[in-house]
Amino acid sequence: AGENRLRVGVFDKQGRAMEDASVECVINKCGDSTMKHYKCTHIGNGYYQTALSFDNAGCMEVKANVSRANDTLSYTNKVYIEK
C-alpha cells in the first residue's frame, strides 16, 4: 500500500524501443469493477512510467493500453500488493 511507480517497457517485434507510443494503465482490485486510470509518461529507451497508489493490500489487475498510430495493444497482469 502507499505510493509507487509503475514502469512499462514498449518494444516492437525486433526488440526496438517504441519512443512515440501513448500508454495508459488501468488498475482495479481483483473482483471489483472500480477502475483507476493513469497516463504514463515516456522516460526514455521505450519505457513509460506513472506514479500510483494502492489503498489496500491484495490482488490487483493491471492493464496497460498501448497505442501508436492506428495500432492498439492491451496487456493484463495480476499482481499481489503487500502492506
Q: What is the pTM of this model?
A: 0.85
Say how many C-beta atoms besides its own lie within 10 A of residue 68's C-beta: 15
- Read off the pLDDT band of 6 (50, 70, 90): very high
Q: What is the pLDDT of residues 9-36, one digit of tens each?
A: 999 889 999 999 999 999 999 999 999 9
Residues contacting 14, CB < 8 A, separation 6+: none
- Between the alpha carbon of residue 44 and those of residues 13, 22, 41, 51, the distances in Å are 18, 13, 9, 16
C-alpha cell at 58: 491484495
d(CA 64, CA 77): 9
Cβ atoms within 10 A of the Cβ of 62, count? 17
Tens digits of residue pLDDT in 42-71: 999 999 999 988 878 899 999 999 999 888
